[in-house]
Amino acid sequence: MIEKNNPSRILFNILNYGFMAAFAIVCIAPLWHVLMASLSNPRMLIMNTGLLWKPAGEITFKGYELVFRNGNILGGYGNTLLYVAWHAVVGTFFTLIAGYLVSRKDFKLQIPLLLFIMFTMMFNGGLIPTYQVQRAIGLINNKWAMMIPGMIGAFYVVMIKSAFEQLSPSYEESAKLDGAGPLTILFRILTPLIMPSLAVVIMFSVVMQWNSWYPASVYLPMSREDWPLQLFMREVLVQNNTAKIISGADAAAKADLTSNLVKYCVSIVGTLPILCAYPFAQKYFVKGVTLGGVKG
């Protein structure tokens, strides 16, 4: 297409590119500030009032040393990794099974099961009854409270269902002729074919679990040893309680100076892994949004 380069066109382009670049800076600047602050000299950091473009004072890794020597943060990291891995593997496995069951047209329970699952998208018991149920079956202050509930999402089941439905039935028929059993057909033949949709489910559950703090705050109030990283981060960043990280003999003297530094370091420690990963995973998120039609 040939474009005329009239003045208004040029002006529009300047404004448009300018806006896009400016918003990109607005997206990055706060994080850049946090990264630079986390490397700063705590004395200089306290005096700083503006956005940091480079570390205040000489670069130090003192804050990170404190954070990584801290059992809470390391334990939280471990728990988060466990929850992320569990939902990515076990959660996705059951989502896959559920999606397959409701895609089988020759299965008499297909429609009842589909309605049973879809109804939960429309209506739910809400926080308090769910809390009471989990309490009754012992899923309060217990690692499993983070692992069993939330394992299967109705929305993703529907997504997997439509992925299975788009496969040609000939795959299954020819595998059957070759003598493959039903489970072999499902896991060896059909599942690899819907890998793109499965990847979307895995990516969403990884990011959701990594960033999730709310369920843990409700269901694990007393068991700090099971807390995911985000809950320790909330303690430091939102409830402003850095005392549990800066411990030791000279804690009181140092606390004021270093508490700021620790906050920044904790933010980076909790964010960096996902920031490094998302540019490679973004195509799955784009796909998830367009597949699902609506989400977010």
Partner 1 sequence: MELSAAPKKHTWRRDWKMNKWLYFLAIPIFLYFLIFHYLPMFGLVISFQDFKPQRGVLGSEWVGFKNFADFFGGPNFWTILRNTLVISGLGMAVSFPLTIIYALMLNEIRCTWFKKTVQTIHYMPYFISMVVVCGLIIEFCSTNGMITNLLVNVFGIRRENLLQNPDYFWAINLISDIWKGLGYGAIFFVSAITSVGQELYEAAAIDGAGRLRRAWHITLPGITPAIVTMLVLNCGMILQVGSDKILLLYNASIYETADVISTHVQRMGIEKMQYGYASAVGLFNSVVGTILLLTSNCISRKLTDTGVI
Residues in region 22-81 near partner 1 by CB under 8 A: 23-24, 26-28, 30-31, 34, 49-51
Considering beta carbons, is residue 132 or 174 the nearer one to partner 1?
132
Task: Tell the smallest beta-carbon distance from residue 249 to partner 1 (Å).
Answer: 28
Token digits of residue 86: 């569990």
Rounded Cα distance, 229 and 267, in Å: 11
Among 161, 163, 270, 284, binds partner 1 (CB under 8 A): 270
Task: Tell the smallest beta-carbon distance from residue 46 to partner 1 (Å).
Answer: 10
166 binds partner 1 (CB under 8 A): no
Check residue 126 and give left, alpha or beta (phi > 0: left; psi -120 to 50: alpha). left
Considering beta carbons, is residue 250 or 280 the nearer one to partner 1?
280
With contact defined as beta carbons under 8 Å apart, do 206 and 285 qualify?
A: no
Scanning residues 134 to 153, which ones bind partner 1 (CB under 8 A)? 135, 137, 148-152
Scanning residues 78 to 137, which ones bind partner 1 (CB under 8 A)? 94, 97-98, 100-101, 104, 106-109, 113, 116-118, 120-133, 135, 137
Considering beta carbons, is residue 26 or 249 the nearer one to partner 1?
26
161 binds partner 1 (CB under 8 A): no
In Å, how far are 120, 227, 265, 266 from 210, measured between CA atoms?
24, 12, 17, 14
12 binds partner 1 (CB under 8 A): yes
Q: Which stretch binds partner 1 (CB under 8 A): 3-11, 161-169, 189-197, 251-259?
A: 3-11
237 binds partner 1 (CB under 8 A): yes
279 binds partner 1 (CB under 8 A): yes
Q: Which stretch binds partner 1 (CB under 8 A): 53-61, 71-79, 165-173, 227-235?
A: 227-235
Token digits of residue 141: 């202050």
Considering beta carbons, is residue 4 or 179 the nearer one to partner 1?
4
193 binds partner 1 (CB under 8 A): no
Token digits of residue 140: 């309060």
Considering beta carbons, is residue 248 or 279 the nearer one to partner 1?
279
171 binds partner 1 (CB under 8 A): no
Among 230, 242, 258, 259, binds partner 1 (CB under 8 A): 230
- The site that binds partner 1 (CB under 8 A) totals a number of residues, namely 89
